[in-house]
């Protein structure tokens, strides 16, 4: 087949300079657009999120199967087309970033998965039509709590778009539920939330559970408590927040100090 020649339209500037140092949720960065392409930015600031297609210039191109070791080295091998691993024949990076602001030829973003110096090939807006609320995906479980919490925090924030205390409560509850009941975006897993709307939103964002088809999510508004009841295949787990703790307390406390946990 014919060769394709691409010219970068810009470059990423970021404090993160090595692929191994890139956090799983991406990082803050500035995309510097080359002067001849600045006209192509008109209207871009109307979007809250953009797709950034880049060229992973440091990626190996001769690997077709790989273990997603950054998330968990104990997982099985996948073909690179079934993963977002940066090693691939054409190392095109696809990253959904939050657009903070545009100043001249500079695009300030959050959550970009591309290190400093990465050539940028294209930028496209993220549209509502891109959203699949509850896709089927492989169970790529993070190797430890820190990684799993990072993934869940991003899921909750992307859905809820507020970094509120209930987001941290939701993540802590979801971590416990995942450890007991397995993959949270699963048709067999149901969750009922009694609590503030923020908690309901964040739990829904993490679990991708819908009110119907299938029935997986129930919500009862209650500003005086935070409770989630999880069930799967005859097993059930109830997690209730004990007090109204400070944010730092939510982050640092042990499960048993923070919650009353009942298993059935
Ligand atoms: Zn909130």
- Average pLDDT over all residues of the chain: 96
Out of 103, 130, 157, pick the residue that ends a domain: 130
- For residue 146, report the distance from its CA to the centre of ligand 1, in Å: 22
The confidence score (pLDDT) of residue 199 equals: 98
Tell me the pLDDT tens digit for each residue of 110-157: 999 999 999 999 999 999 999 999 999 999 999 999 999 999 999 999
- For residue 192, report the distance from its CA to the centre of ligand 1, in Å: 18
Asked if the model's pLDDT at residue 243 lies above 90, the reply is no
What's the CA gap between 164 and 161, in Å, rounded?
Answer: 9
126 with 153, same domain? no
In a domain, 1, yes or no: no
Tell me the pLDDT tens digit for each residue of 4-16: 999 999 999 999 9
126 with 41, same domain? yes
Nearest to 7 by CA among 29, 31, 36, 30: 36
| CATH code where residue 228 lies | 3.30.1330.130
- For residue 226, report the distance from its CA to the centre of ligand 1, in Å: 13
18 with 113, same domain? yes
Asked if the model's pLDDT at residue 174 lies above 90, the reply is yes
Average pLDDT over residues 176-197: 97
Q: Which long-range contacts (CB under 8 A, 24 or more apart) does 78-84 make?
A: 78/138, 82/138
In a domain, 139, yes or no: no
First-to-last alpha carbon distance for the chain, in angstroms, is 60
34 with 95, same domain? yes
- For residue 40, report the distance from its CA to the centre of ligand 1, in Å: 35
99 with 193, same domain? no
The confidence score (pLDDT) of residue 18 equals: 93
Tell me the pLDDT tens digit for each residue of 214-230: 999 999 999 999 999 99
Asked if the model's pLDDT at residue 245 lies above 90, the reply is no
DSSP annotation of 118:
P
Domain count, the chain: 2
Residue ranges making up the domain that contains 14: 10-130
- For residue 38, report the distance from its CA to the centre of ligand 1, in Å: 36
The confidence score (pLDDT) of residue 135 equals: 94
Tell me the pLDDT tens digit for each residue of 20-59: 999 989 999 999 999 999 999 999 999 999 999 999 999 9
In a domain, 28, yes or no: yes
- For residue 18, report the distance from its CA to the centre of ligand 1, in Å: 33
82 with 116, same domain? yes
- For residue 94, report the distance from its CA to the centre of ligand 1, in Å: 28
The confidence score (pLDDT) of residue 233 equals: 93
Asked if the model's pLDDT at residue 251 lies above 90, the reply is no
The confidence score (pLDDT) of residue 17 equals: 94
| CATH code where residue 73 lies | 2.40.30.70
The confidence score (pLDDT) of residue 248 equals: 85
112 with 169, same domain? no
120 with 198, same domain? no
Query: What SS3 class is residue 99?
Result: strand
What's the CA gap between 1 and 143, in Å, rounded?
Answer: 41
Average pLDDT over residues 50-72: 96
- For residue 225, report the distance from its CA to the centre of ligand 1, in Å: 15
């Amino acid at each position: 087949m014919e060769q394709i020649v691409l010219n970068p339209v810009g470059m990423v500037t970021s404090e993160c300079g090595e692929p191994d140092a890139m956090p799983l949720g991406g990082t803050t960065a500035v995309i510097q657009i080359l002067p001849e392409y600045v006209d192509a930015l008109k209207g871009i600031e109307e979007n809250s999120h953009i797709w950034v297609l880049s060229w992973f210039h440091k990626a190996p191109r001769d690997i077709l199967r790989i273990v997603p070791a950054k998330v968990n080295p104990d997982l099985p091998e996948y073909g690179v087309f079934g993963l977002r691993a940066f090693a691939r024949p054409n190392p095109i990076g696809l990253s959904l970033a939050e657009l903070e602001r545009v100043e001249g030829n500079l695009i300030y973003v959050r959550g970009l998965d591309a290190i400093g110096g990465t050539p940028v090939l294209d930028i496209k807006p993220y549209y509502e039509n891109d959203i699949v609320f509850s896709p089927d995906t492989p169970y790529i479980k993070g190797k430890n709590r820190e990684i799993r919490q990072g993934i869940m925090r991003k899921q909750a924030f992307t859905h809820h778009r507020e970094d509120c205390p209930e987001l941290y409560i939701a993540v802590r509850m979801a971590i416990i539920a995942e450890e007991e009941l397995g993959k949270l975006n699963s048709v067999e897993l149901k969750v009922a939330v009694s609590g503030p709307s923020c908690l309901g939103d964040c739990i829904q964002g993490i679990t991708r559970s819908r009110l119907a088809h299938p029935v997986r999510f129930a919500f009862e508004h209650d500003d005086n408590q935070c409770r989630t009841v999880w069930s799967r295949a005859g097993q059930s787990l109830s997690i209730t927040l004990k007090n109204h703790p400070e944010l730092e307390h939510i982050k640092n406390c042990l499960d048993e100090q923070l919650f009353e946990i009942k298993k059935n």
